[in-house]
């Protein structure tokens, strides 16, 4: 008799198997018991008959509480009524770990209660499905970039400078000197691109601003590719190809999880059709004003504006060439205009707004030095970064995508806190 995982049930139809499981739910009619069993790979139904188990064993099984762990032995059968397609006819069981008064019962709980019990909530079907989709997106990210000749560079989490301002960074003591948790791996990624051509960084970053929006976490995972010899138009192609690739990977490999989340696959499939529409910031302002938005040229877009633009095009849409005054110092100046930079944000439809921000990077040493000084930065903190423009600088471009924002859109979650295993927010650092 083979010990298997539930996910492999299809390979063992009409075979007797042994599986280690937890009971997530159960019901009994007195002569037959139906148990929802999960093992971490999937969930399916176990069926126990009183006249086969015997009265004592049947009574013990039906008395077991939610989240009790046990070994079950039985025969796998096909079950066309089940979304999973298979069930287990239980012939024997062995209790491994008892469970009493499990706090997350099959009823509605408030979000604060669920987040306080996140270590247990991850066992429930919806958060479990989201984490599986997260895992698939991470796998597909590596596959996408590895297949295209990118090298992964691990940017440092501890940095000695605060390029975005100390109010937005977490400060710590580094053997007697100030250090900060990184907001971004981008600047180090540019150094990597000058060494390897095409790289990506992918790891945790930190934001200390006291925001309570549904799109904000203080600890998040950021994907940041950098590409030497690449202009912005070519970077946009990589960005849309990446998004389409990740969406398709989830469709292909997570059908059960999407069904658990009631995510319409036909809607997701639309987002694999390329190219995505492109609209200039200038034209976006005109479009917004024509549709009743009180926005002036030069402002950054908020959630209402981003939502309207993406819904207008019914696709992820690139907004191009933002005003220089509202963008970072390192972005390439426009060749014919002094008021905008060569940058783009990718806005997701269905109300999720910006999921990617990117630009062509400036290659002009004097321009970057001027921009740093104008923003009040200490040039000594950026000597190494300016060196990249002194020794064989080339055109290069890059972008950043927040994993949790992308996942919130793909899984249709109201808040990014449900797309990371243990969310860290303004007033939450437990568990």
What's the distance, Cα to Cα, between the start and end of the chain in Å?
Answer: 40
CB contact at 8 A, 398 and 235: yes
What number of other Cβ atoms are within 10 A of residue 320's Cβ? 20
Phi, psi of 427 (to 5 degrees): -120, 25
CA-based torsion, 216, 217, 223, 224: positive or negative: positive
Report pLDDT for 308: 97
Report pLDDT for 162: 65
Phi, psi of 280 (to 5 degrees): -70, 155
Q: Are strands 158-159 and 177-181 parallel, antiparallel or unpaired?
A: antiparallel
Give the ranges where 299-358 is alpha helix by DSSP (H). 303-313
CB contact at 8 A, 87 and 79: yes
Report pLDDT for 166: 56
Domains observed in the chain: 2-97 (2.40.50.140), 118-419 (3.30.930.10)
Report pLDDT for 362: 98
Report pLDDT for 376: 86
User: What's the chain's length in residues?
Assistant: 431
Report pLDDT for 371: 93
What is this structure's pTM? Answer: 0.96
Give the ranges where 81-207 is alpha helix by DSSP (H). 111-116, 118-121, 125-147, 186-196
Report pLDDT for 131: 98
d(CA 355, CA 149): 24
Report pLDDT for 425: 96
CB contact at 8 A, 314 and 349: yes
d(CA 129, CA 116): 19
What H or E segment, with its residue span, contains residue 60? helix 55-62
Report pLDDT for 154: 97
Q: What is the mean pLDDT of each run of 10 residues along the chain (431 residues)?
A: 96 98 94 97 97 96 97 96 93 97 93 98 97 98 98 95 69 94 95 98 95 93 98 98 98 96 98 98 98 97 96 97 96 97 98 97 97 90 96 98 98 97 96 97
């Amino acid at each position: 008799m083979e010990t298997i995982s539930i996910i492999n049930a299809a390979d063992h139809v009409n075979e007797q198997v042994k599986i280690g499981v937890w009971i997530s739910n159960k019901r009994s009619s007195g002569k037959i018991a139906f148990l929802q069993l999960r093992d971490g790979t999937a969930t399916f139904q176990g069926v126990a008959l009183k006249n086969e188990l015997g009265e004592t064993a049947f009574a013990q099984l039906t008395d077991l509480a939610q989240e009790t762990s046990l070994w079950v032995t039985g025969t796998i059968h096909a079950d066309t009524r089940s979304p999973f397609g298979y069930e287990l006819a239980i012939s024997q069981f062995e209790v491994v770990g008892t469970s009493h008064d499990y706090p997350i019962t099959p009823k509605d709980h408030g979000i604060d209660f669920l987040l306080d019990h996140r270590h247990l909530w991850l066992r429930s079907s919806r958060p479990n499905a989201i984490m599986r989709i997260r895992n698939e997106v991470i796998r597909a990210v590596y596959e996408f970039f590895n297949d295209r000749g990118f090298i992964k560079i691990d940017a440092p989490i501890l940095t000695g400078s605060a390029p975005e301002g100390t109010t937005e960074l977490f400060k710590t003591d580094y053997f007697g000197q100030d250090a900060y948790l990184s907001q971004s791996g981008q600047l180090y990624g540019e150094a990597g691109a000058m060494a390897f051509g095409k790289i990506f960084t992918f790891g945790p970053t930190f934001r200390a601003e006291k925001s309570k929006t549904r799109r904000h976490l203080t600890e998040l995972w950021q994907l940041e590719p950098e590409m030497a010899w690449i202009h912005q138009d070519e970077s946009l192609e990589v960005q849309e190809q990446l998004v389409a690739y990740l969406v398709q990977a989830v469709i292909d490999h997570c059908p059960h999880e999407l069904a658990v989340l009631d995510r319409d696959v036909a809607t997701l499939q639309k987002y694999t059709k390329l190219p995505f529409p492109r609209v200039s910031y200038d034209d976006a302002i005109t479009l917004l004003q024509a549709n009743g938005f009180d926005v002036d040229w030069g402002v950054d877009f908020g959630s209402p504006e981003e939502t309207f633009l993406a819904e207008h095009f019914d696709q992820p849409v690139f907004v191009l060439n933002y005003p220089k005054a509202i963008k970072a110092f390192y972005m390439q100046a426009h060749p014919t205009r002094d008021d905008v930079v060569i940058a783009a944000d990718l806005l997701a439809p269905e109300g999720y707004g910006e999921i990617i921000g990117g630009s062509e990077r400036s290659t002009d040493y004097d321009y970057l030095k001027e921009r740093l000084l104008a923003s009040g930065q200490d040039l000594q903190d950026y000597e190494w970064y300016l060196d990249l423009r002194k020794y064989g600088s080339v055109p290069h471009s890059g972008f950043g995508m927040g994993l949790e924002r992308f996942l919130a859109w793909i899984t249709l979650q109201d808040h990014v806190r449900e797309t990371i295993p243990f969310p860290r927010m303004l007033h939450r650092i437990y568990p």
